[in-house]
Amino acid sequence: MTAIAPALSVLDLVPVRTGQTSSEAIAASLSLAEIADRLGYRRFWFAEHHNMPAVASTTPPVLIAAAAGRTTQIRLGSGGVMLPNHAPLIVAEQFAALEAIAPGRIDLGLGRAPGSDPVITQLLRGSGTTSDVEQFPRHVQDIAAFLAGDGATLRFTSGGEYIVHATPAATSSPEIWLLGSSDYSAQLAASHGLPYVFANHFSGQGLELALDLYRTGYQPSEEHPEPRTFLTVNVVAAPTIAEAEARALPQLRMMARLRLNKPLTALETVEEALAATPDAATDQAVQAGRSRWFVGTGESVAAETREFAAKYGVDEVMISPVAGAYEAEAKDAASGRARTLELIAAAL
């Protein structure tokens, strides 16, 4: 019996390859959002990472606003905003504005990790207004309250009250999701009655335990009476298996450098990755990463996606299309990533 096809969504890190400018990389990702919208994907989320030569998704709210102007039906969101880097009220105000720009289409995914190294973390917190990791649960609650129609009520020791709204006259609010790759976020989402996303594309370790903790510990909320979750996965689809494997190699090698604590560079082109000098440690890390990815033709990747969704009991899978680019391909377009979305959608 064939597994039921899940809904598909997209996670984008706005990759930057050799010789590509930030402007070209963002143009390519915005064109990808348009394609996902046209193909009927459910969501398109931008990640938050800082000071990485191969990643231009530093500011999800800005990218979401740009994508909102070029799409009509797909939900847009953050995968996610790394809350320790930002004051909760600023996050609430940004996403309230986004909800006003694209009503009913905005998701606010919140993460607890800083999204960069200690130096960048310190720079992001230089104003003294950003939140600490230990305060993450309270700040999640603060954001939800700021976004609510009646706002958040601050009470002073003197007995006075002060009402705070993220925007003056909201008619709707973004949907809040908690993101994580550990037990902590799963349990926090369950206790708050919030939807939860396991970052399987980054770390597949502990997936089953996290989902079990979330589902068994779930406390129903007014907005979400039932637990709701989906999973992320790295994918590459191409007309042939050989092309798919070649297009997967640049991102696999970048992830290997990250895990081996080697200097990071712009994402290699396919030609650069194929011509790289063999290195045992890198090759081992590449193979370990490849074992968790879905790489192949549209039909084979669609089949793996269906099986993946059925195995973990989810009706939605968020794919991170990580197909690399050949040197001759246009720098302001995402040819391999666009083809991945097209082939999987057609086969699913």
Instruction: Please state, in angstroms and rounded to a whole number, the distance separating the CA atoms of residues 225 and 103.
Output: 23
Average pLDDT, the chain: 93
Instruction: Please state, in angstroms and rounded to a whole number, the distance separating the CA atoms of residues 136 and 232.
Output: 22
Across 305-314, average pLDDT:
96
- pLDDT tens for each residue of 235-269: 999 999 999 999 999 999 999 999 999 999 999 99
Report domain extents, the chain: 7-241+293-347
* CATH C-level class of 7-241+293-347: alpha beta
**Coil vs helix vs strand at 7:** strand
Instruction: Please state, in angstroms and rounded to a whole number, the distance separating the CA atoms of residues 325 and 330.
Output: 9
237 bridge partner residues: 296
Exposure string (b/e) for 169-183, b if CB count within 10 Å is 16 or more? ebeebbbbbbbbbbe
Q: How is residue 196 annotated by DSSP?
A: E
Q: Provide the pLDDT for residue 1.
A: 46
pLDDT band at 231 (very low <50, low <70, confident <90, very high): very high
Per-residue HEC secondary structure of 123-182 comes to HHCCCCCCCCHHHHHHHHHHHHHHHCCCCEEEECCCCCEEEECCCCCCCCCCEEEEEECC
For residue 128, pLDDT beyond 90: no
Classify residue 205 by burial, with Cβ atoms within 10 Å: 0-12, 13-18, 19+. exposed
Q: Provide the pLDDT for residue 50.
A: 92
**Rg for the chain, CA atoms, rounded:** 20
pLDDT band at 116 (very low <50, low <70, confident <90, very high): low
Q: Provide the pLDDT for residue 174.
A: 97
Instruction: Please state, in angstroms and rounded to a whole number, the distance separating the CA atoms of residues 244 and 184.
Output: 35
Instruction: Please state, in angstroms and rounded to a whole number, the distance separating the CA atoms of residues 76 and 68.
Output: 7
Whether 247 contacts 217, CB under 8 Å: no
- pLDDT tens for each residue of 130-179: 556 778 899 999 999 999 988 888 888 777 889 999 999 999 999 999 99
Q: Provide the pLDDT for residue 300.
A: 98
Range with lowest mean pLDDT among 13-22, 119-128, 250-259, 262-271: 119-128
Range with lowest mean pLDDT among 78-82, 204-208, 277-281: 204-208
Instruction: Please state, in angstroms and rounded to a whole number, the distance separating the CA atoms of residues 23 and 43.
Output: 23
For 45, 80, 81, 225, 334, the CA distances from 33, given in Å and listed in that order, are: 9, 16, 18, 31, 10
Q: Provide the pLDDT for residue 206.
A: 87
For 79, 119, 173, the CA distances from 82, given in Å and listed in that order, are: 9, 16, 19
Whether 307 contacts 219, CB under 8 Å: no
Q: Provide the pLDDT for residue 84.
A: 87
Across 17-40, average pLDDT:
98
Range with lowest mean pLDDT among 111-115, 205-209, 314-318: 111-115
For residue 118, pLDDT beyond 90: no
Q: Provide the pLDDT for residue 2.
A: 59
Q: Provide the pLDDT for residue 126.
A: 61
- Residue at token pair 């994580």: 180
Q: pTM for this one?
A: 0.94
- pLDDT tens for each residue of 41-94: 999 999 999 999 999 999 999 999 999 999 999 999 999 899 988 999 999 999
Instruction: Please state, in angstroms and rounded to a whole number, the distance separating the CA atoms of residues 39 and 345.
Output: 7
11 bridge partner residues: 45
Q: Which amino acid is at 224?
A: H
Structure tokens at 293: 């990815």
For residue 330, pLDDT beyond 70: yes
